[in-house]
Amino acid sequence: QVQLVESGGGVVQPGRSLRLSCAASGFMFSSYGMHWVRQAPGKGLEWVAVIIYDGSNKYYADSVKGRFTISRDNSNYTLYLQMSSLRPEDTAVYYCAKGNSGYHLGWFDPWGQGTLVTVSS
Amino acid sequence: EIVLTQSPGTLSLSPGERAIFSCRASQSVSTSYLAWYQQKPGQAPRLLIYGASNRATGIPDRFSGSGSGTDFTLTISRLEPEDFAVYYCQQYGSSRMTFGQGTRLEIK
């Protein structure tokens, strides 16, 4: 079955960088758009970024544009989120999620279990 | 950016009752590109409905979605104990996908 497993979260100081990974299995990874969605503690869901099936197009939320970079390695079934210039407001559980098509628009199904990023000095 | 407003913020009902969730968009959602998710404490969200009215695989038929344009509804016909959770709508008709703020369904 489809499985998504995030890793790389932790505690990081403001202004520093962190890279999240999402290991995918159970489907043809190279055929689907992939997303990152985050959820601050006790808050709602916020879409962060999407990368289409071949990595040629990427879209970002305004809140992370210019600081975060989404990428993928189709040969290793892995999605990444490189986060730089981190701010306390980036503190959240970060989920990766599979899109329903190869492109950027779509619903998210399934989701990984999430990885917690805490930005604090 | 399309802003989604969900109401009510909290819904207090008993098992067996009907639950109705509203999601209103600040502008028309193209081609009914709207989804609903359920999230339980400590868990990732789960897809319930896509395309405004299509149930995802494995979702019981007591869940149904309707609406178009700017007004969408999720209905749970008869609440089961496992349905008490937070529900989110999401639009995917524009490159900047957005979620509503969520509706908490609690046991009365």
pLDDT of residue A104: 85
* Contact with chain A for residue B44, Cβ under 8 A: yes
Which range, of A15-19, A91-95, B90-94, averages the lowest pLDDT?
A: B90-94
pLDDT of residue B31: 80
Interchain proximity A107–B47, CB inside 8 Å: yes
Three-state secondary structure call for residue B86? strand
C-alpha span between A17 and B3 (Å, rounded): 30
Residue carrying structure tokens 């600040």: B26
Tens digit of pLDDT for each residue in B1-51?
999 999 999 999 999 999 999 999 999 998 889 999 999 999 999 999 999
pLDDT of residue B32: 85
Which range, of A6-10, A42-46, A99-103, B38-42, averages the lowest pLDDT?
A: A99-103
Beta strand pairing call for B10-13 and B103-107: parallel
Tens digit of pLDDT for each residue in A65-74?
999 999 999 9
Interchain proximity B35–A108, CB inside 8 Å: yes
Provide, as residue numbers in chain A, all residues whose Cβ is less than 8 Å from the Cβ of B94. 105
* Contact with chain A for residue B45, Cβ under 8 A: yes
C-alpha dihedral, A102 to A104 to A106 to A111, nearest 10°: 80
Question: Chain B closest CA to A13's CA: distance in Å?
Answer: 25
CB atoms within 10 A of CB B76: 22
Interchain proximity B90–A109, CB inside 8 Å: no
Question: Chain A closest CA to B52's CA: distance in Å?
Answer: 11
Provide, as residue numbers in chain A, all residues whose Cβ is less than 8 Å from the Cβ of B98. 47
Q: Does A10 score more than 90 pLDDT?
A: yes
Tokens of B11: 């819904």
Mutation target to probe the A interface, by most A beta carbons within 10 A, among B97, B103, B104 is B97
Asked if residues B82 and B73 have their Cβ atoms less than 8 Å apart, the reply is no
pLDDT of residue A65: 97
Whole-angstrom CA distances from A76 to A26, A29, A52, A63 are: 13, 9, 16, 29
Q: Does A94 score more than 90 pLDDT?
A: yes
Least CB-CB distance to B98: which of A47, A100, A114?
Answer: A47
